[in-house]
Amino acid sequence: SSYPRPGEIPSTTSLFASAWLKELDLSAAPTILPTKRGHSECPSNPDPTICHWTCSNCALTDVVACPDPSTWGLTFNGGPSSTATPELLDVLKGNNLKATFFLVGGSVVENPDLVRRQAAEGHHLASLTWSQTPLTTLTNAEIVVEVRWTEKAIEEATGQKVRYIRPPNGDVDNRVRFVLKKLGYTIVDWSGEDFDTKDLDVVMKEKTVDEVVSRFKKTLTAYTNPTILPTQGFITLAHDISPETITITKELVLLGIQSGLKIQSVASCL
């Protein structure tokens, strides 16, 4: 009951927040101003010293791929969700696969049994922050509470302390990186536009399941082309937030298995 409301940016002045902020020295954080919330256009000449991943494809030390060729880091954002996660766990279990789940703090508090099941079945638990607010729009203190509340929720549900994080929407720059590293996290993005499964386009009714699957099939065909040997594996972006996203995952996983790819969690592929 002491948790913030799901979906809301937590207070930075609560007793927990004050204790968390007191533990950290953020005085050397880059003086990059927060971006405007809801303002998603990138500048025409992005400042390279900011190193914004979404706008400049600048990743620095973020993890964007699995090192070994033919290895697929399977990841899911946005859960746990009572309408999607149980079925997804059944699919993964049926294929003897493990994945990385980037969990939303507020949803963890609402579905602790699902998170316990994910942990018990050997999946890799990681953070997508408390409210999924794009992190470059937040102050340093807000980033800290978003991350720490999520960490606390996952630890209280499972006993596990998470150490990997995906910035919501892949929204990360050098200021956000500094704060997340101070908090002890490894940042995980994904392997660029081609490896975003676009499953959300189906949820938004912008594409059909068939269109999304056929697009990803092209990506896999190009990746497994025997004349161009890949130098590293890849990490995909997918979601476990609605039944449609699970329908897509079933098909994509099958394509991966048929292509002879080694599908695993990001923690395993690193």
Tell me, what CATH number does 78's domain have?
3.20.20.370
Q: End-to-end alpha-carbon separation of the chain, Å?
A: 37
Residue 172 is assigned to a structural domain of this protein: yes
> Domains in the chain: how many in total?
1
Residue 199 is assigned to a structural domain of this protein: yes
pLDDT(131) > 80 = yes
Residue 180 is assigned to a structural domain of this protein: yes
Sheet with 124-127: list strands edge to edge: 186-187, 164-165, 124-127, 100-103, 75-77, 238-239
Predicted pLDDT at 54: 85
The pLDDT confidence band at residue 164, using thresholds 50, 70 and 90, is very high
Residue 203 is assigned to a structural domain of this protein: yes
The pLDDT confidence band at residue 249, using thresholds 50, 70 and 90, is very high
Please name which of 141, 131, 133 lies closest in space to residue 172, comparing C-alpha atoms.
133
Compute the average pLDDT of residues 113-139. 98
Residue 61 is assigned to a structural domain of this protein: no
Residue 242 is assigned to a structural domain of this protein: yes
Predicted pLDDT at 50: 92
Residue 2 is assigned to a structural domain of this protein: no
Q: Is omega for the bond preceding 80 within 30 degrees of 0, making it cis?
A: yes
The pLDDT confidence band at residue 229, using thresholds 50, 70 and 90, is confident
Residue 233 is assigned to a structural domain of this protein: yes
**184: domain range?**
72-269
pLDDT(41) > 70 = no
